[in-house]
Chains A and B, each alone.
Chain A
Amino acid sequence: MQDKLMSADQVVGGLSDGMTLAIGGWGSRRKPMALVRAILRSDLRDLTVISYGGPDVGLLCAAGKVREVVFGFVSLDSIALDPHFRAARQAGTVQVAEYDEGMVLAGLRAAAARLPFLPTRAGLGSDVPALNPELRTVTSPYSDGEELIAMPALKPDVALVHLNRADRSGNAQYLGPDPYFDDVMCAAAERSYISCEQVVDTDELLRTGPLQSLLIDRMYADGVVHAPNGAHFTSCVPDYDRDERFQSHYAASAADGAWEEFRNRFLSGDEDAYQAAVAAFQENQEVPA
């Protein structure tokens, strides 16, 4: 079996400017944050990001990596809004394609099935069609004659997801309560990279969870990254919960000046330096800025 183990920097080294990335997880839950941090360290720019958005979108906006966000929402869950995404929108520095959450799923499912579109009711009558002038409707050819939104396929170049376990060939397992849309994103994308808490031997996968927890099959995996604590500061249940204290610090640091300090302290080195700085933050029981 092909060994697909690689580093986060190797994954990002294979990406190019202007690419469309689908980023897994949901809000501030099981986001591939170590891969996002690797993008922050790179020279990549002009990215289009498809995401059930959380601090992944916020950090990429703060670093000026994003041309367009394709989204239904951007939220930190326990904090309603991401300050960097807000700031980028309000400054007009990032474009958006805003859809209903179900439309994003329909677009990804269409891409995964190699269909040009999927019909959906979501979006009808709302301002979503006006926000996305390329959207068209489709009329049922059957006797009901219903007019529906024809959600076009959302085709990412690359999907980036983080799961609890994977083997070296890219069979990957989620152990929390929700798979989110990681498998659909991987099936929709040209290439997919999976970071995980633990790389295990294939025969160990079923020791920790049932058969149906094996969410992603190796046919979709182009690379596997060992990234312990790699979803930090988002949750990665049952390995760890969201780091609420750190998330508060992240959000509060979005202000000018404070952000430079945050960036210098946490985002100026490699992933090991990040994890060490986070450990120090936790050890000091620091009160968020």
Chain B
Amino acid sequence: MSTAATRAEVCAVACADSFSDAGRALASPFGAIPSLGARLARSTSAPELLLTDGEAALIAETPALGEESTAEVEGWMPYRKVLDTLAGGRRRVMMGASQIDRYGNQNISRIGGWDRPKAQLVGVRGAPGNSVNHTTNYWVAKHSTRVFVESVDLVAGIGHDRAADCGAPFHDVRVVVTDLAVLDFTGPGASMRLRSVHPGVSTEQVVERTGFDLATDAVTETRLPTERELELIRKLDPQELRHEEVPA
């Protein structure tokens, strides 16, 4: 053990930290590193988290990523129950974002015009309902000006400006974790602020790869995984799927 943590491992811990205060809630991570983060959180700071097998079963154990789950089942969570659970608020997601703006408006639906998009993506999926009903965080595997844009082409997940306009009482978009940094929305007018840069990344690099002005008045360094976390990460992701998402 005790080789230095890779960038992907720093990211996994930052994702895990986003789940640490979720309590008794359904974790819905999208992507390998958020999935690793949720499993890591359940193994450390957030033992009450609920996890699925990726289909309809809630699993009582925390198995490794990418393996056929033989974990003990503790409950049933088909899609209809996910939709009802999220409306009740006992859920925390970490979604992807094809585009995100300074207030946290997120797009996964399409790039370009509405009638004839330049690129049709997956659709709004559950992003409108997630972002308006419970804590929603985002994961961006490649921080760039293509993703961090002045204005998203379509608002799927709603940001702080939109939430303020419609008075969404349960809106709670907190952090964006990327391969470079952790960002939150404590800047002026609930705009995006650079909270921390990962070890080896400079504030300038993040600013350069962000397509809008970022508050950078109190940037720290993202914490490193502890020895125990590193051990768990390597156990929970033996196929190193994390390094396919963020190369070592």
Contact (Cβ within 8 A) B87 A121: yes
Contact (Cβ within 8 A) B129 A101: yes
- Contact-size category for A: 35 or more
Contact (Cβ within 8 A) B165 A98: no
Contact (Cβ within 8 A) B122 A89: no
A103 to B79, CA, bound (A): 13
A91 to B112, CA, bound (A): 12
**Residues of B104-127 whose CB lies within 8 A of A:** 109-110, 114-127
Contact (Cβ within 8 A) A98 B123: yes
Contact (Cβ within 8 A) B115 A92: yes
A184 to B56, CA, bound (A): 18
Pick the contact of B126 from A26, A85, A102, A180 — CB < 8 Å?
A102
A-B pairs under 8 A by CB, number? 130
B1 part of interface (Cβ distance < 8 Å): no
Contact (Cβ within 8 A) A124 B79: no
A80 part of interface (Cβ distance < 8 Å): yes
B66 part of interface (Cβ distance < 8 Å): no
A131 to B113, CA, bound (A): 11
Contact (Cβ within 8 A) B126 A100: yes
Pick the contact of B79 from A100, A126, A180 — CB < 8 Å?
A180
Contact (Cβ within 8 A) B78 A126: no
Contact (Cβ within 8 A) B117 A90: yes
Proximity bits, B29-51, A CB within 8 Å = 1, else 0: 00000000000000000000000
**Residues of A11-55 whose CB lies within 8 A of B:** 26, 52-53
Contact (Cβ within 8 A) A177 B55: yes
Q: With contacts A74-B123, A100-B127, A181-B79 known, is A121 near B156, CB below 8 A?
A: no
Pick the contact of B125 from A73, A86, A91, A146 — CB < 8 Å?
A73
Contact (Cβ within 8 A) A123 B128: yes
B154 part of interface (Cβ distance < 8 Å): yes
A100 to B109, CA, bound (A): 11
A120 to B126, CA, bound (A): 13
Smallest CB–CB gap between A172 and chain B, Å?
17
Smallest CB–CB gap between B105 and chain A, Å?
9
**Residues of B172-193 whose CB lies within 8 A of A:** none
**A: which residues have CB within 8 A of B?**
26, 52-53, 71-75, 80-81, 85-86, 89-92, 98-103, 105, 120-128, 131, 146-147, 177-181, 184
**24 CB-based A-B contacts, threshold 8 Å:** A52-B79, A73-B124, A74-B122, A80-B122, A91-B116, A98-B124, A101-B125, A101-B126, A102-B83, A102-B126, A105-B80, A121-B87, A121-B170, A122-B133, A124-B128, A124-B168, A125-B128, A125-B162, A126-B158, A131-B154, A177-B76, A177-B78, A179-B80, A180-B80
